[in-house]
Amino acid sequence: MNKLLTLSNISKSFDRDRVHALKKISFECDKGDVISIVGSSGSGKSTLLRIIAGLEIPDKGEITLDGNLINDNNTFTSAEKRDCSLVFQDFALFPNMTVIENICFGKKAANNETLIDELMEFTVITDLADRYPHEISGGQQQRVALVRALSNNPSLLLLDEPLSHLDLELKDNVRNELINLIQKVGATVLMVTHDTKDAMLMADKIIVLNDGQIDQINSPPKIFNFPANAYVARLFGKTNILPREHFPDISHHFFDLDFGKDVVSIRPHELKIVHKNVDTKIPTIKGKVVSVQSLGSYSEVLLVNDEIEVSANIENDQKIEIGSQIILTIDKK
């Protein structure tokens, strides 16, 4: 059996039913999967992770982990008895304990010694063993928290926003370290993030949460190229949501409540400027340039006509003036 984690119809409310943080969440996770849960702030990501960890009790629903029922109407397996480890967003290291004391806290040392040594070597924190958390960098604190979690040898590793506190410069390195570590131990990982770039780069599968509900579950390229709705499309970067009737050649479309009709998602980089003698079979958008913002290698150009407003990324070698009429084509199927 390859299924490691199964959630069915998990719901959770706070404040006497005023906040519906999770509504009937169901999904499965196979052994060895790296799954990312993404969604805007307040969409229920941390609550979902805390429920799986056993730190929060759901109102309804069932959870099984590695074949064991850990949650239903009559069952609640406590956090310490669940075969999973949660790494908190702020790492939750004890400030008055050294690195090694933090890692060994609550463990029967003899069982884990070799694994701890190995993980500390691999993450290059062996020499920091006697330091206190305030004496090491943010990236190093994260490695300590990960080693503490992984040295329990959990079936499932839960990570809440593991990269959110790092500045951009550090982030790429720490992300790669994390990918290496996950691969080394062959961990099954459920990782919450609001940064869709992290999800795209790390996950085999992405779960998109929107206001406590799952909008889409799919691989990163599928989610990016075939979003289920406008929320998912916008979460993964700037895009133009436009009525489908203008673009009958684009195959992927979805219904949108705000428009009250079928729409398509066209990303700014999928639009190209063309000159007048273009093949008439290629669909085009004609309009007036109302703003041009240079972003270094390209400019964000806003074009309007009587029907729509479109944002396009145009290479900087093409000079575009505000007020001029231009024609765009769509480089998308």
Q: Does 19 bind ligand ADP (CB under 6 A)?
A: yes
CB closer to ligand ADP out of 43 and 123: 43
Please identify which residue in 2, 16, 17, 41 interacts with ligand ADP, judged by CB under 6 A: 41
Please identify which residue in 36, 43, 98, 123 interacts with ligand ADP, judged by CB under 6 A: 43
Choose from Mg ion, ligand ADP, none: what does 17 bind? Cβ within 5-8 Å by kind: none
Residues contacting Mg ion: total by CB under 5 A: 2
Q: Does 216 bind Mg ion (CB under 5 A)?
A: no
- In whole angstroms, the minimum distance from the beta carbon of 43 to Mg ion comes to 9
The stretch among 24-32, 44-52, 144-152, 288-296 that binds ligand ADP (CB under 6 A) is 44-52
Choose from ligand ADP, Mg ion, none: what does 44 bind? Cβ within 5-8 Å by kind: ligand ADP
Q: Does 123 bind ligand ADP (CB under 6 A)?
A: no
Please identify which residue in 44, 54, 61, 227 interacts with ligand ADP, judged by CB under 6 A: 44
- In whole angstroms, the minimum distance from the beta carbon of 190 to Mg ion comes to 13
Instruction: Return the HEC string of the chain.
Output: CCEEEEEEEEEEEECCCCEEEEEEEEEEEECCCEEEEECCCCCCHHHHHHHHHCCCCCCEEEEEECCEEEEECCEECCHHHCCEEEECCCCCCCCCCCHHHHHHCCCCHHHHHHHHHHHHHHCCCHHHCCCCHHHCCHHHHHHHHHHHHHCCCCCEEEEECCCCCCCHHHHHHHHHHHHHHHHHHCCEEEEEECCHHHHHHHCCEEEEEECCEEEEEECHHHHHHCCCCHHHHHHCCCCEEEEHHHCCCCCCCEEECCCCEEEEEECHHHEEEECCCCCCCCCEEEEEEEEEEECCCEEEEEEECCCCEEEEEEECCCCCCCCCEEEEEECCC
- In whole angstroms, the minimum distance from the beta carbon of 168 to ligand ADP comes to 21
Q: Does 43 bind Mg ion (CB under 5 A)?
A: no
Q: Does 46 bind Mg ion (CB under 5 A)?
A: yes
Choose from Mg ion, ligand ADP, none: what does 227 bind? Cβ within 5-8 Å by kind: none
Choose from Mg ion, ligand ADP, none: what does 328 bind? Cβ within 5-8 Å by kind: none
Residues at the site binding ligand ADP, with contacts judged by CB under 6 A? 14-15, 19, 21, 39, 41-47
